[in-house]
Amino acid sequence: MSPSYADVLAAADRIAPHIHRTPVVTCAALDELCGARLFLKCENLQKVGAFKARGATNAVLSLSDDEAARGVATHSSGNHAQALALAARRRGVPAWIVMPTTAPAVKRAAVAGYGAVIVPCEPTLAAREQTLREVVARTGAVFVPPYDDERIIAGQGTAALELAADAPGLDRVLCPVGGGGLLAGTAVALSGCAPAVKVVGCEPDGADDTARSLAAGHRLPAVAPRSVCDGLLTSVGERNFPLIARLVAGVWTVPDEAVIAAMRLLFERAKLVVEPSGAIGLAAAVAHRRELAGGRVGIILSGGNVDLDRLPWLPPREDPCPTR
Amino acid sequence: MSPSYADVLAAADRIAPHIHRTPVVTCAALDELCGARLFLKCENLQKVGAFKARGATNAVLSLSDDEAARGVATHSSGNHAQALALAARRRGVPAWIVMPTTAPAVKRAAVAGYGAVIVPCEPTLAAREQTLREVVARTGAVFVPPYDDERIIAGQGTAALELAADAPGLDRVLCPVGGGGLLAGTAVALSGCAPAVKVVGCEPDGADDTARSLAAGHRLPAVAPRSVCDGLLTSVGERNFPLIARLVAGVWTVPDEAVIAAMRLLFERAKLVVEPSGAIGLAAAVAHRRELAGGRVGIILSGGNVDLDRLPWLPPREDPCPTR
């Protein structure tokens, strides 16, 4: 079942008490750079530092009491893990998060800090899926997928509802696409509340499966994706792709160097900490400034979870003085 | 003449079309750390990246047409320079900014980018004042001081009006103090719109002239001030001090290490780029968490102009591998 605009509205009501209504900020320096009026939807300021709090909260609150009592489970080393852990704690139910043993300690600590049980696994997709199956079989927990799920898609779409309300008359909205939860949700939301807006997906050129899938007319998997945008490496989801194909005006691909430059611009000029995946919309806007000229452009800054010891414009810290 | 609450209200009306109404954000992780509910007033998201846009805009818009036509001048290597340059450009009048030859190229470029004339001088206070006098004598420009001025104080106070409106029922507001423009303005504003709020100044312990002045009962100069908070090194102003002495509940001093830790927390948990001077309020809140416990605390994040190549928690970049 595809989520509808009504599902997005219902999600917005459901999650409102539990998430931040994030601000939409403007920045004259960035407007000048792009020759357009930009409206930055600050999902980096969302709970757990990313829009993922919306979908996970909607999914957990959509469960019946019986389902919820069994707890929830997922596999993720990223923002969805924290988002699901937080949403489960809010509902007072257990959460099991399958995480690869290679996940950074800081991410494990964040998930554990929300009271979730971390189940370690080998760092392969097969091991993650197998471990998750075992957890679900053993505990009876409900699997909450990171993006390929109608409750998740509807939840992620609520950010665009707020953006459209706070920045009326937009011409375009630029939105990152990895698995497609945020992009599909954004497209569904805007198709209902602001149907004149063109929704554009923004994808790393090293992980361009959505762009290729749209060109082919059917879903193609990501092949050895590589990008500084660690949140955008997954292949577009089965439920996500048809919504994107039907409702999105196109996908713009962006090289990593442009993403890093945009991330630095957001720190420097907009004073916002944004992760690479979250900066890709601005990178796309800079690259496509001719098409955007004079327009009103919404950009979803999807998250802000960054390792501050390893900012991509700084030289690597490891062993700065190797013995000669 | 001391600025009154009515002056702050008039300033708010005057500058509203020209500045950002900055968001007030909350962050559960920081609340937990301080055991209080924190309301972060994001003046780092203000135009020119600092609250200084408020006072400078109010001062420039308060000039008569005849005065304004002569242009404006100041000496500053910091945020006031950019703020005055921008305010002058908005009114369509010239601005002369006296800057020490040691000012970073990026700051000179920002001021020049707003169309102001940069007048270089030796990096001493005497040279700055002398050069400014010459500029004023030569051009007839109106001197707009950075903080010791009633129009500036009234303008800076407008941030607290917005904070009180967006976060009702505050117990305390924590506010950085250098020259005292923001602190005096905040105190005047809250004395009118939220008189139950205790206003606390936050000062680096290496530049604690305001704390010492309050203890002495009269203004004492800063002596060889040293702090990572480069915006808070100046001595408290002549017009600022009596307002602070009358209206402020106290001043809390903070060591630099605590400021740097708070700055990193703001990047990491609140996803906000804040300069050291702007992070001092959070540093004070962490240090005084027992006094704040259970309360509602406003914190003014005064600015976000940071050199992203030299974040204070990272090792210095210069010559990382000296020859042995």
Predicted ipTM? 0.92
Q: Which pLDDT value is given to residue B76?
A: 87
Give the one of A47, A273, A321 whose C-beta lies nearest to B273's C-beta: A273
User: What is the total residue count of chain B?
Assistant: 324
Strand-pair partners of A202: A176, A252
Provide mean pLDDT across the span A68-81. 93
| Share above pLDDT 90 across residues of chain A, in percent, rounded to a whole number | 90
- pLDDT tens-place string over residues A89-112: 999 999 999 999 988 888 888 899
Q: What is the model's pLDDT at position B124? A: 87
The model's pLDDT over B177-194, given as tens digits with 9 standing for 90+, comes to 999 999 999 999 999 999
Q: Is the pLDDT score of A319 beyond 70?
A: no
Burial-class residue A28 by CB neighbours within 10 Å (0-12, 13-18, 19+): middle
Our answer to whether residue B302 is catalytic in this structure is: yes
Contact criterion met (CB < 8 Å) for B272 and A273: yes
- Can you tell me the mean pLDDT for A152-159? 98
pLDDT 10s digits, A174-213:
999 999 999 999 999 999 999 999 999 999 999 999 999 9
Q: Which residues of B touch A267 (CB under 8 A)?
A: 273, 306, 308
Higher-pLDDT residue of A10 and A109 is A10
Is residue B60 scored above 60 in pLDDT? yes
- At residue A1, the pLDDT reads 75
The answer to whether the CB of A33 falls within 8 A of the CB of A286 is yes
Mean pLDDT of the region A211-221: 97
Mutation target to probe the A interface, by most A beta carbons within 10 A, among B44, B271, B309 is B271
**Cβ within 8 Å, pair B321-A321:** yes
Q: What is the pLDDT of residues B300-321, one digit of tens each?
A: 999 999 999 889 998 876 555 5
**Local confidence band at B153 (pLDDT 50, 70, 90 cut-offs):** very high
Largest CA distance in chain A: 65
Q: What is the mean pLDDT of residues A250-259?
A: 98
Taking all residues of chain B, what is their mean pLDDT, rounded to a whole number?
Answer: 95
| Closest CA of chain A from B204, distance in Å | 23
- What was the pLDDT predicted at A248? 98
At B169 the pLDDT is: 98
Residue B48: per-residue pLDDT:
95
Q: Is the per-residue pLDDT at B67 higher than 70?
A: yes
pLDDT at res. A324: 42
Of the residues A22, A48, A271, the best mutation for testing chain B's interface (the one with the most B CB atoms within 10 Å of its CB) is A271
Q: How far is CA A181 from CA A240, A299, B200, B254, in A?
A: 6, 16, 45, 44
What percent of chain B has pLDDT above 70?
Answer: 98
Instruction: Provide the pLDDT confidence category of residue A318 given band limits of 50, 70 and 90.
Output: low
Choose the closest CB to B267 out of A308, A314, A321. Answer: A308
Res B212: pLDDT: 98
Who among B23, B47, B267 is closest to A28 (CB)?
B47
The pLDDT value given to residue B107: 84
pLDDT at A112: 93
Write B316-322 long-range contacts (CB < 8 A, 24+): B317/A314, B317/A315, B320/A315, B320/A320, B320/A321, B321/A320, B321/A321
Domains along chain B with CATH numbers: 5-51+150-301 (3.40.50.1100), 53-143 (3.40.50.1100)
- pLDDT score of B318: 58
Structure tokens at A93: 């139910």
Whether B77 is catalytic is no
Q: Which 3 state secondary structure label does DSSP give A232?
A: helix
**Which of A44, A268, A313 shows the shortest C-beta gap to B271?**
A44
Which residue of B lies nearest to A309 if distances are taken between CA atoms?
A: B314
**A320 has pLDDT over 70:** no
CB contact under 8 A, B313 and A314: no
Catalytic sites of A, residue numbers: 52, 302
Which is the catalytic residue, given B41, B47, B52, B107?
B52
From chain A, pick out residues whose CB is under 8 angstroms from the CB of B317.
314-315
CB count in 10 Å sphere of residue B250: 10
| Stated pTM of the model | 0.94
Q: For A263, which residue in chain B has the nearest alpha carbon?
A: B308
pLDDT in the model for residue A77:
78
Query: Which range (A196-205, A208-217, A310-319, B258-267) has the least confidence?
Result: A310-319
